[in-house]
Amino acid sequence: MNRARISATLRPLAGAAVLGLGCLSAQAQTSQIDPSVAASDSIGASELQTISRFVSDWAPGLASDDMGQVAASRQRLSRPLAGSSVAVTFREAYAGVLIPELQTLLAGDNIGSRLAALRLAGELATESSAALILDYLDDDDEAVRYFAIGRMESVFEQASAHPPALSPETTLDMVRRLGDRVVSGSALEADAAVRALGGAMRLDQSGFDRARNEAATLLGSKAGERVRAMASAKVDESELIVALDACAAARSAVTASGWQPDRSATSELIGLGGDVLALVLERFHDKTLPETAQRTLDVQTARAAENLILFARRHHEFLRGGADSVPATGLGDLLESGQDRPFSLQAVALLGRDGELVRGFGFEANRFIER
DSSP 128-155: HHHHHHHHTTT-SSHHHHHHHHHHHHHH
Across 56-73, b (16+ Cβ under 10 Å) vs e yields ebbbebbbbeebbbbbbb
DSSP assignment of 87-100: -HHHHHHHHHHHHH
Over residues 197-207, the mean pLDDT reads 93
CA distance 142 to 47: 38
CA distance 242 to 182: 9
CA distances from 322 to 19, 50, 252, 253 (A): 59, 59, 21, 20
What pTM was computed for the model? 0.89
Distance of CA 32 to the CA centre of its chain: 32
- Asked if pLDDT for residue 307 goes beyond 90, the answer is yes
Q: What is the pLDDT of residues 329-365, one digit of tens each?
A: 999 999 999 999 999 999 999 999 999 999 999 999 9
Is 317 buried (19+), middle (13-18) or exposed (0-12) by CB count in 10 A? Answer: middle
Comparing 4-8, 49-53, 126-130, the range with the smallest average pLDDT is: 4-8
CA dihedral 364, 262, 173, 207 (to 10 degrees): 170
CB 179 within 8 A of CB 265: no
Q: Which fold has domain 1-166?
A: Leucine-rich Repeat Variant (1.25.10)
The residues spanned by each domain of the chain are: 1-166
Q: For position 204, what pLDDT does the model report? A: 87
CA distance 47 to 40: 9
Predicted confidence band at 16 (pLDDT cuts at 50, 70, 90)? very low
Predicted confidence band at 2 (pLDDT cuts at 50, 70, 90)? low
CA nearest to 117, candidates 163, 79, 148: 148
CA distance 182 to 13: 26
Output the average pLDDT for the chain: 90
Is 31 buried (19+), middle (13-18) or exposed (0-12) by CB count in 10 A? Answer: middle
Sign of CA dihedral 152, 154, 155, 157: positive
CA nearest to 177, candidates 206, 207, 218, 216: 218
Predicted confidence band at 29 (pLDDT cuts at 50, 70, 90)? low
Of the two residues 348 and 204, the one the predictor is more confident about is 348
Question: What are the strands, taking DSSP E only, across 4-161?
Answer: none
CB 198 within 8 A of CB 249: yes
CB 122 within 8 A of CB 99: no
Maximum Cα–Cα distance for the chain, whole Å? 73
